[in-house]
Chain A
């Protein structure tokens, strides 16, 4: 319910323990490291920065090999886990002790070389296959030719030539050749829509003449270098070669597929190497002299003792000092809530972290968020599906903090939807009239029959939400010692707002007496007192009385925003109705399908209902998250919350595909969850 307190730490130590210290820091994950070089860069200590680049070239080199192998093997792996896992990025659990031994465990050298040779072989096969296929395609039209290629060309007196004409020119060429050169023949071997494939035989001595005629009609000589036999035999031989190559390809692919089982180890290795790299990278933040180095960072107050213990275990040549955050510093922020509210931290962090020392709004937004979410979905059936699906997600992705939190959020949301659905008579958006009597008895409000009441309900929720925001501001002010503003200004708002609200209700009811007269006069007086308090206490420290009243009037003007803010909650009604109406539309369409289509109508109806309702749920789920969140951020936070803190991100083991387990690690998984 608050922000964790942190302390600043400066640590200086002998250079010989740098690597070990960094390793400890990474494993324990307690310190949020600050770029000390940057901080020193504009001070007289600039020379301490040093320009050393931590050495990570071995790691880079190995990592590039691992990436190559993973890329290569990735092509041979069947997609696993499907769409959902792909989208969520599943993580596997690994013992830390195993993680550290991974480099020795994997024979990377061997795997790399094997993969490289396999890849080389595959590429060579592909190229060869491409070549053969090409020749085969070119040979295809020549199949009927029963002369060996080796015989094509010149003999002593005659010339055998093969080539192609545009198909339309063939007749003309044949006639002309027949007419002018008798000792020649032009045989069409084959033709397709474009070309005629011909064999031309003529006497050597008439070749100039013949060539002239042939080229006039667009004859293009074809030649098959390296081929000797007749086309049919050549094609058969090529087919055999192709077959052999494909067999070899299959064998190579099988070998590659056998290697795929190593992938999980390689992924661990990759994550390991990346962590090694992080170790080198984090040192870019350190200041350094010839023999010593220094780092600056933040540690949670509760971790200080642990930190001291861990570090002094390493060496005696470490010197550190702790300090409370100074006024002008902006320490990193870690939210601290009990386990019921932790999942709601995602809602807060989407907006941004509170400033250090500010109120953490998480616990306060949680109940309203859930209620609003419930109103937006507002259906028992949908709520049930959502709850069950989220329970499943939570179990399946228990290793992944964000997804687990979202799942918990949606479990609560689903339950709230079921309540809202029961109270408004929405069961899978079935028309109220056709519900069993028991269910109808639970209804307190039918949104479609009485939308105005529904709207008023939403406004009431919203109004309460806004007032709660003012109360929090009051609390925050008092907590920080600004008790005059807290009690009188915020108190003034709390008196004014209900008073004005009652007056507005009276105004809108157009002369009808909906409120008793005494209540009205109370409301009148509340408003007056509220106005006075707000005007006088908005700026109690103003220099002049005019300034004080001026800013007071301005503060009063600011109160008008409450009207717009309250109206904004009408979205709850619209979204709730939207869910119901779309679902209702789906039911109608399903019903029509059942009535109009003979025999299979029932099946089609079932398909329409299942797909339609799922679609409706997913679409409204997004709205039901985004809009209540917006109501928190814009309407609610606007009343008390400033934000602008940066998250506490300790330097720690951090793996994209893994979750670590092990006795050496912290039990507090919140520290690690804050990483991403």
Chain B
């Protein structure tokens, strides 16, 4: 029960997994949204009519933060981190949870940043041609695919870890 790996026991590994999923997804989304929003602010200062299209472009890199949040939440709920059940997570299971969350942690961080870069470029497109907002959105969503795939796999891995 009190076996540890790198000083952490099973329970702590699960907590770490949940925290880092939220943190990394969040960091990625913050950076992604900030880059797109900063440029949008510049565009809006010149041309306030473009708000609608730009808003969507700015929000897009935010999904990764949500995926991180979902993953974290799933770990909290599935393994009873809220109540006392979490204390009984054995080391092997804790590490499995942690590894299961890794796809989301890494992919959400990286893809949100790059999606932000694409969104930023999209903002530049919208600045030139207002009707390009849709195309910019789609280009930006192309990057998100890999965050989605990581979420799918992480979900399965977490469920597998729960099953034992």
Direct contact between the two chains A and B in their complex (CB within 8 A): yes
Could you give 27 example pairs across A and B, Cβ below 8 Å? A87-B51, A88-B52, A349-B134, A350-B137, A350-B138, A351-B138, A451-B155, A452-B156, A568-B145, A570-B152, A574-B67, A574-B152, A574-B155, A575-B148, A577-B70, A578-B151, A581-B73, A588-B77, A619-B59, A619-B66, A622-B60, A623-B63, A626-B137, A626-B138, A627-B148, A629-B138, A630-B141
* Residue of A whose beta carbon sits closest to that of B155: A451
Q: Mark out the residues of chain A between 548 and 601 whose CB falls within 8 Å of any chain B CB in the assembled complex.
A: 567-568, 570-571, 573-575, 577-578, 581-582, 584-585, 588
Query: What is the CA–CA distance of A574 and B56 in the complex, to the nearest angstrom?
Result: 20
Per the bound structure, the CA–CA distance linking A582 and B66 in Å amounts to: 8
Say yes or no for A634: interface residue by CB 8 A criterion. yes
Residue B41 is within 8 A (CB to CB) of chain A in the complex: no
| Contact residues, B84-103 vs A (CB, 8 A) | none
A618 to chain B: closest residue by CB: B59
Are A451's CB and B66's CB within 8 A? no
The answer to whether A570 touches B77 (Cβ under 8 A) is: no
**Residues in B lying within 8 Å of A, measured CB to CB:** 49, 51-52, 56, 59-60, 62-63, 66-67, 69-70, 73-74, 77, 134-135, 137-138, 141-142, 144-145, 148-149, 151-152, 155-156, 159
A567 CA / B150 CA spacing, docked (Å):
12
B60: A residues at CB distance < 8 A? 622, 626
Residue A11 at the chain B interface, CB threshold 8 Å: no
In the complex, what residues of B have CB within 8 A of residue A349's CB?
134
Residue of A nearest to B78 (CB): A448
Give the residue of A88, A585, A626 whose beta carbon is less than 8 angstroms from that of B141. Answer: A626
Tell me the total A-B contact number using a CB cutoff of 8 A. Answer: 77
A interface majority secondary structure: helix
Query: Residues of B contacting A574 with CB < 8 Å?
Result: 67, 148, 151-152, 155
Closest to A88 in B: B52
Whether the pair A581, B59 counts as a contact (CB closer than 8 A) is: no
Interface status of A461 (Cβ within 8 A of chain B): no
- B138 to A578, Cβ gap below 8 A? no
Q: Is A89 an interface residue (CB 8 A)?
A: yes
Give chain A interface residues in 210-259, CB to chain B under 8 Å: none
**The residue from A88, A622, A630 contacting B142, defined by CB atoms under 8 A apart:** A630
> Are A619 and B69 in contact, with the CB atoms below 8 A?
no
In the complex, what residue of chain B is closest to A349 when comparing beta carbons? B134
Given contacts A573-B152, A626-B141, 20 further A-B contacts (CB under 8 A): A349-B134, A350-B138, A351-B134, A352-B135, A451-B155, A452-B156, A567-B149, A571-B145, A571-B148, A574-B151, A575-B148, A578-B70, A585-B70, A619-B59, A622-B60, A627-B144, A629-B134, A630-B141, A633-B138, A634-B142
Chain A, interface size category, equals 20 to 34
**A630 surroundings in chain B (CB, below 8 A):** 138, 141-142
Q: Is the beta-carbon distance between B62 and A627 smaller than 8 angstroms?
A: no
Task: State whether the Cβ of A455 lies closer than 8 Å to any Cβ in chain B.
Answer: yes
Contacts of A567 in B (CB 8 A): 149
Question: Which A79-104 residues have C-beta < 8 A from chain B?
Answer: 87-89
A649 to B28, CA, bound (A): 42
Please, how many angstroms separate the alpha-carbon atoms of A150 and B78 in the complex? 86
The verdict on A350 contacting B148 (CB below 8 Å), with A451-B156, A619-B66, A634-B142 known, is no
Kindly list chain A residues whose C-beta atoms are within 8 Å of the C-beta of B148. 570-571, 574-575, 627
